[in-house]
Amino acid sequence: MDIRNIAIIAHVDHGKTTLVDQLLKQSGSFRENQHVAERAMDSNDLERERGITILAKCTSVVWKDTRINIIDTPGHADFGGEVERILSMVDGAVVLVDAAEGALPQTKFVVGKALARGLKPIVVVNKIDRGDARPDEVHNEIFDLFAALGANDEQLDFPMLFASGRQGWADEELEGARKDLAPMFDLIVRHVPPPQVDKDAPFAMVATILENDNFLGRVLTGRVEQGRAKVNMPVRVLRPDGSVVETGRLTKLLSFRGLERVPVEEAEAGDIVAVAGLSEATIPETIASPEITEPLASTPVDPPTLSMTFRLNDGPLGGREGKKVTSRQIRDRLFKETEGNIAIRVTDSPESEAFEVAGRGELQLGVLIEQMRREGFELTIGRPRVLFRTNEETGEREEPFEEVLIDVDEPYSGVVVEKMAQRKGLMQDMQPSGGGKVRLTFLIPSRGLIGYHGEFLTDTRGTGIMNRLFAGYQPWAGAIEGRRNGSLISSEDGATTQYSLFSLQERGTLFVDAGEKVYVGMIIGEHSRENDLEVNPVREKKLTNIRAAGKDDALLLTPPRKMSLEQAIAYIEDDELVEVTPSAVRIRKRYLDPHERKKRDRQGASA
């Protein structure tokens, strides 16, 4: 059977996962009466909640005697480690673009990677049924984007389809028949080349996705680059430097059929398979026949740009809400994450019972923390820090920069430009994008964006859209002003009272409600002034023997400002931590004792 391997590339929320659902249905991968969840490829709970694809996934459909292996890639640049590995397994790419929004930064990120690998893309303008669709302008935008990314003449001569993933049709003509996705299947078979492989050479493949299965153990997915894989065949695993990791046997071979993995006895070069039976092999190592001594080429991964410190939860409430609370459990979980997620780097911190975790961005590390929290871990997280580097030629200190593309209503553009300038952002472009909106493009240091997203949504009344893309390293841009307001810090342990919180409201914005547990050093609100203020949120009203003529006035509390995990991580300063447990997200000072804090402040001032 002929094989085609393709990746589907798109910006977040442009409809690629929905389109894959329709491809599965129309190819007959589902029975007529089979119930399938919407966005079947987004199987992870966090993916369904956030509406994004985090992990790359493989599926397979058969169309007129050709097996098409489809890989759904993440759209966020934060998950770029997934993207780079996936593109090494495919021979073609479908670039999906929203007919109204056009090509956005994360499309640009993955398309740039695909063009650099020499893939010839098929462009699909999706959501053509939108009222504000502008297909001709989007076509021109994509051409300009490909040219800017260095596409060759062959890549610039891309075939194009107009489609509606939700309605399940695609057509080469804008006013075509709009019946089904047959034109898309036919174009993939026609335009994407079959894998260029040697089926008679000794077996070899590169591991690109790693999972842990309760029954099979480590399951490694990749494309068979040469030869044939057979059940129980002996193999050796080679690192990229050629050293041997382990030798073993392939106890199980799994091939993709629709959304399921089906056991097979043999797989030949060009097909994408999952193998089990190896205990130490990981990404991006070569699994091969024993006679092979040279590893296959694997894709280098862009370095991490952001780091956070993960610590043991040593607060007074530590160990009460989670099941996994020791530093050994945290360490094991973090190092296990690095096996399957090569974009994350974990090192032991100089601090006791703490670990430095470096990744691509706040979103990627926020997803990891949320996963650990749901697994029953308790942690404290430090403020995100960007990773600087020294330019070997000039000796200059360099920091990561990002290209930020903002769509905002015209009345709010002024405040956005002002805030970005305060954070050392340089405006690259400003143009109207229709419907009273303006599209702004900035180049800004990554550290300038830490904590800005929530402020941005407030400034634009929730209507602004911000997309970001790693743009490389540039010389340090100078100091950026941090949070202006101080904190309201609890001076007592106990449960908050309505009486006490009512009197504290005028001091600033509260983060806690009446009846919540607090402790000494916990941050319960934001002070209205620049300095930190210690307050007593557990004070109760003193009772007297005098009977009042009337009832006390009802004490009305303003609803507290509740922060999500990402908002809390972005909010904290260097001397603060976020306490994360399965049931709560709290903010606290790093040093809970007020005398210790003053001592550290004096040391910092004299240093």
Known binding-site residues for GTP equal: 13-18, 126-129
Binding-site residue set: 13-18, 126-129
> Phi and psi of 124, rounded to 5°?
-120, 115
Using an 8 Å Cβ cutoff, are 206 and 88 in contact? yes
The Cα–Cα gap between 212 and 319 comes to 28
Using an 8 Å Cβ cutoff, are 181 and 262 in contact? no
Sort residue 138 into left (φ over 0), alpha (ψ -120 to 50) or beta: alpha
Using an 8 Å Cβ cutoff, are 5 and 87 in contact? no
What b/e string do you get for 268-307 counting C-beta neighbours within 10 Å, with b at 16 or more? bbbbbbbbbbbeebbbbbbbbbeebeebbebbebbebbbb
Alpha helices in 104-212 (DSSP H): 105-116, 135-148, 153-156, 182-191
Provide the pairing of β-strand 160-164 with 120-126: parallel
Beta bridge partners of 426: 443
Three-state DSSP at 382 gives coil
C-beta pairs of 388-397 under 8 Å, 24+ apart in sequence:
388/476, 389/473, 391/473, 391/475, 396/475, 396/476, 397/475, 397/476
- In this structure, the chain runs to a length of 607
Q: What angle do CA 263, 264, 270 make, to 5 degrees?
A: 120
User: With helix as H, strand as E and coil as C, how does 529-563 read?
Assistant: CCCCEEECCCCCCCCCCCCCCCCCCCCCCCCCCCC
Return the residue matching tokens 């029975």: 31
Three-state DSSP at 443 gives strand
The two three-digit tokens of residue 605, written as one number: 């001032």
Return the residue matching tokens 């050293």: 243
The Cα–Cα gap between 100 and 97 comes to 9
